[in-house]
Amino acid sequence: MHNDLLGKDLRYGLIGSGSWATALVKVLSDTGNRVNWYIRNSDNIDFIKEFGRNRFYLRSAALKTGMLEMSDDINEVVYNSDAVIFCIPSAYFLAQIKPLDNDLLKDKLLISATKGFVSNDHLTVAEYFHRVLGIPFSRIVVLSGPTHAEEVAMEKLSYLTFASKHIEVSSKVSEAFSSHYVKVVCSTDIYGVEYSAAMKNVYAVAVGLCHSLGYGDNFISVLVTGAYNEMVRFLNSTHPDSSRIPSRSAYLGDLLVTCYSQFSRNRTFGGMIGKGYSVVSAHTEMNMVAEGYYATRCMYEIANRLNVELPIVNAMYQILYEEKSPHYVVNHLASILK
């Protein structure tokens, strides 16, 4: 990252207008940052200007419209920003950035708040920026939790993790988000933070599903323990990092909040599958994207390619993609968990 960016007040741009994007806009504007905000729906832009609320997501969040420059032109937003936050569901990521002129990303700081995988090669967003767009890691940051957008909107104390291969970069970005209700943590484990953020969604789907099948807290505690061990084993076997402390909030904390919270859309999705909903009907009724559904297939194929055993991921793949009986699959999974 160039010193001229490190030494100046960054102009932030945000791509996306869902719940998490709205929460991040609130945090940035609350800390005194003007935000260039890309919103595809021009009617929603008019609504926000009039009422100070996102019409479709997180309507409880009061937005400081005087701090916002909203546009339905993604290139305009990127052009006018030094640091661009991408906050788009992974399943729609490539389609939504398709109109973007990639030349505009030159010399920009790119921040991924997308939790999941993009492209047929199952790349994380940071991997996509680096491998496909050729962005050096010195200009890539991963933004993670443990946080739920709903609690951020209510200004309940929350923690954000910023990961970059260069600690001075993550430290610079984190400054803009630090407030009385947001604490920030910096990390250099960009791989571990990004992969754990994707994997915990798979495990939250499993927890929701098992709860709907009638399993209680005793079993679910063992399931979440198994999920944590499985996640750590995958990270350490595929990308060892001496700086990684898996018991910290970006790993264990994010796993716990996603598995147990009432706000967890992935747990809700899993609960609906356990009740007999189809994948399509569950997504339709939720009107939100459960990243864990897509991450299940990606992690299943990544693990097979890298020859790493992930029993819980395998079980969820069998249920969600092979349409095997949830009762049968979970019963077998219970026999191997300890």
- Please choose, from the candidates 124, 109, 91, 126, the residue with its C-alpha nearest in 3D space to the C-alpha of residue 16: 91
Neighbours of 107 (CB within 10 A): 11
CA distance 192 to 205: 20
- Our CA angle for 95, 96, 99, nearest 5°, is 90
Residues serving a catalytic function are 200
Alpha-carbon 169 to chain mean position: 20
- Amino acid identity for residue 230 in this structure: E
Contact 72, 39 (CB under 8 A): yes
> Which sign, positive or negative, has the C-alpha torsion 225, 230, 231, 235?
positive
Name the one residue in this structure whose structure tokens are 């929460």.
Answer: 23
Q: What is the three-class DSSP state of 171?
A: helix
Contact 114, 90 (CB under 8 A): yes
Six-digit token string for 164: 């970059």
Please spell the DSSP secondary structure of 103-126, one letter per residue: GGGTT-EEEE---SEETTTTEEHH
